[in-house]
Amino acid sequence: MNKSRQSLIAGNWKMNMSVAEGCALAQQIVSQAATVSCELLLCPPAPLLGFVMAETNGSEVQLGSQDCHFNDAGAHTGDTSAKLLADIGCGYVILGHSERRADHGETDQQVAAKVTAAWRNQLTAIICIGETESQRDAGKTLSVVRAQIAGSIPPGATGANTVIAYEPVWAIGSGKVPSVNDVTKIHAETRTAFAEAAGAGEAELVRILYGGSLKPENASEFLALEDVDGGLIGGASLKAQDFIGIASSCP
Ligand code: PGA
C-alpha cells in the first residue's frame, strides 16, 4: 500500500459560521492539530478568511478558499481573485465543487480557467469531480469522472499544484455513501486518468480525496484505501470533535 502521500483532511465550511463561531472552531482545531498525522485545511466563507487566519497563524493548519475568479484583478463585482487569496496567506482553493457547478452553472471550461489562475498564484487547486444520482443510475459514473478530469484540469497539472476530490453529488449532505468497492474502483480510475493527463510520476504524487457524508463513524474504511489520500468534509467539518475524529482515522 502506497501511503507515502501525506493525507489531507479539508473542511469545507460552505456558507456557514459567524465570526465568533468560526474563530472558536478554528481555535479548537488548532489546539488539537498536533494529535493527528495528516495535513489539516480549513476553507471558511471568504469574509471569514482573515479572522480564521488570525487563529491558524503560526500553526500547521492550512487555509483555503471555496472559489476564486479566473482573472487576477479587474471589474468583477463580488468576485475574489486567486492573487488576493495568495496575498492573505491561503495555500489552497476548492474549485468546481458540485454546488458551484449547480448554483452558478460552472462548466469544466470555467473550472479549468480558475485552476490556471490558482496555479499562476501558487495556490494548490482542489478540483472537485463526481457524478449525479441519475448519472450513477445510468451506469455513467466512470465516463462522467473521466470527462470532468479531462475538461477541468488544464495542462501543467502536478502532484504538488493539484488535489482531486471525488464527491458523488448524491452523497453530499445526504448521509448516503458509496460502497467501499465503488470508491476503490473510482479512485483508481481517477489516478489512471490523471496519469494520462500529467504523467505516471505526477499521478503517484497527486492526492485524491473522497468527499460526501464522511463522518468519524465511517471515515476509517474509506481513508484506509490505497487511492484515498484524505477527505473533503462538509457538515462534519463544522464541529471540531467530528473534524478531528475524521482526521484521526487517517492511517
Ligand atoms: P458533506 O459535504 O460532508 O456535508 O457531505 C462534502 C462536500 O460538499 O464537500
Ligand 1 close to Cβ of residue 189 (< 6 A)? no
Predicted TM-score of the model (pTM): 0.98
Q: Is the CB of 173 under 6 A from ligand 1?
A: yes
In the chain, the domains with their CATH numbers are 8-247 (3.20.20.70)
Q: Kindly give the confidence (pLDDT) of every residue in the chain, 251 residues in length, as a single tens digit, with 9 standing for 90 and above.
A: 456 899 999 999 999 999 999 999 999 999 999 999 999 999 999 999 999 999 999 999 999 999 999 999 999 999 999 999 999 999 999 999 999 999 999 999 999 999 999 999 999 999 999 999 999 999 999 999 999 999 999 999 999 999 999 999 999 999 999 999 999 999 999 999 999 999 999 999 999 999 999 999 999 999 999 999 999 999 999 999 999 999 999 99
Ligand 1 pocket member 130 (CB < 6 A): no
Q: How far is the CA of 211 from the centre of ligand 1 (A)?
A: 6
Q: How far is the CA of 232 from the centre of ligand 1 (A)?
A: 7
Q: Of residues 39, 55, 167, 189, which has the active-site annotation? A: 167
Task: Report yes or no: 219 and 206 within 8 Å, Cβ to Cβ.
Answer: no
21 among known catalytic residues: no
Q: How many residues does the chain have?
A: 251
**Does 67 contact ligand 1 (Cβ within 6 A)?**
no
Ligand 1 neighbour 123 (Cβ under 6 A): no
Cα separation, 52 vs 26, whole angstroms: 6
76 in active site: no
DSSP string, 74-99: SS-TT--BHHHHHHHT--EEEES-HH
